[in-house]
Amino acid sequence: LTQSSAYVYKQLPSDVQKELMTSYYSAEEGLGFSVGRLPIHSCDFSVDTYTFDDVEGDTELLSFDDEVLYDQNLSLPMIKDALNANPSLKLFGSPWSPPAWMKDNNDMLHGGKLLDEYREAWANYFSRWIDAYENQGVGIWGVTVQNEPEASQSWESCIYTAEETRDFVGDYLGPVLKESHPSVKIFGFDHNKDHVADWAETLLGGNSSSAEFVDGIAFHWYSGACFENVAKISEDFPEALLLPSEATYELTVLDDDEDEEEWLVNGTWSKGEGYGYDILGDLESGGVGWTDWNIVLDQEGGPNHVGNYCDAAVVADLKGSDGPKLYYHPQYYYMGHFSKFLKEGAKRVKSTVDGVEGMGQGDCSWPYGKCNGDVLHSTAWEVDGELVVVVLNCGDDDKQMELKVGGIDGIVSNQVAAHTIQTYVL
Alpha helices in 221-377 (DSSP H): 227-236, 260-266, 269-284, 330-339
pLDDT over 90 at 356, yes or no? no
* 317 neighbors 299 (Cβ within 8 angstroms): yes
Among 197-206, 227-236, 282-291, 349-358, which stretch is predicted with the lowest mean pLDDT?
A: 349-358
359, pLDDT greater than 90: no
- C-alpha distances in Å from residue 194, one per residue of 214, 226, 228: 20, 6, 10
Q: Encode 249-280: b = buried (16+ Cβ within 10 Å), e = exposed.
A: bbbebbebeeeeeebbeebbebbbbbbbbbbb
Among residues of the chain, what percentage have pLDDT more than 70? 99
Q: How far apart are CA 302 and CA 296, in angstroms?
A: 9
List Cα–Cα distances, 59 to 99, 125, 131, 318, 405, in angstroms: 12, 10, 17, 42, 60
In this predicted model, what pLDDT tens digit does every residue of 405-416 receive, in sequence order? 888 888 999 999
Q: How confident is the model at residue 259 (pLDDT cuts 50, 70, 90)?
A: confident
Give Cβ neighbours of residue 407 (< 8 Å, ≥ 6 apart). Answer: none
- Closest to 132 measured CA to CA, from 198, 84, 61, 200: 61
Number of H helices, E strands in the chain: 12, 17
Q: What are phi and psi of 39, to 5 degrees?
A: -65, 135
* Cis-peptide, bond into residue 99, ω within 30° of zero: no
d(CA 189, CA 196): 7
Q: Kindly give the pairing relationship between strand 377-383 and strand 185-192.
A: unpaired
The greatest distance separating any two alpha carbons of the chain, rounded to the nearest whole angstrom, comes to 70
Is residue 120 within a helix (H) or strand (E), and if so which, with residue range? helix 119-135
Residue pLDDT, tens place only, 86-107: 999 999 999 999 999 999 999 9
Q: Is the pLDDT of residue 358 over 80?
A: no
Neighbouring C-beta atoms of residue 103, cutoff 10 Å:
21
What is the model's pLDDT at position 409? Answer: 82
Peptide bond into 98 cis (omega under 30): no
User: Once rounded to an integer, what is the mean pLDDT over residues 151-179?
Assistant: 98
Residue 136 has pLDDT above 90, yes or no: yes
What pLDDT is stored for residue 260 in this prediction? 81
Q: What is the pLDDT of residue 256?
A: 61
Rg of the chain (C-alpha set): 21
Question: Of the candidates 147, 154, 161, which has an alpha carbon nearest to the alpha carbon of residue 113?
Answer: 161
- Is pLDDT at 60 greater than 60 in this prediction? yes
**% of the chain beyond a pLDDT of 90:** 92
Q: What is the pLDDT of residues 5-32, one digit of tens each?
A: 999 999 999 999 999 999 999 999 999 9
Write down the pLDDT at residue 357. 76
Evaluate whether 189 touches 215 at the Cβ level (below 8 Å).
no
pLDDT digits (tens, 9 = 90+) for 62-74: 999 999 999 999 9
Q: Answer whether 269's CB lies under 8 Å from 256's CB.
A: no
pTM: 0.96
Helix (H, G, I), strand (E, B) or coil at 247: coil
Percent helix, strand and coil across the chain, each to the nearest 5? 30, 20, 50
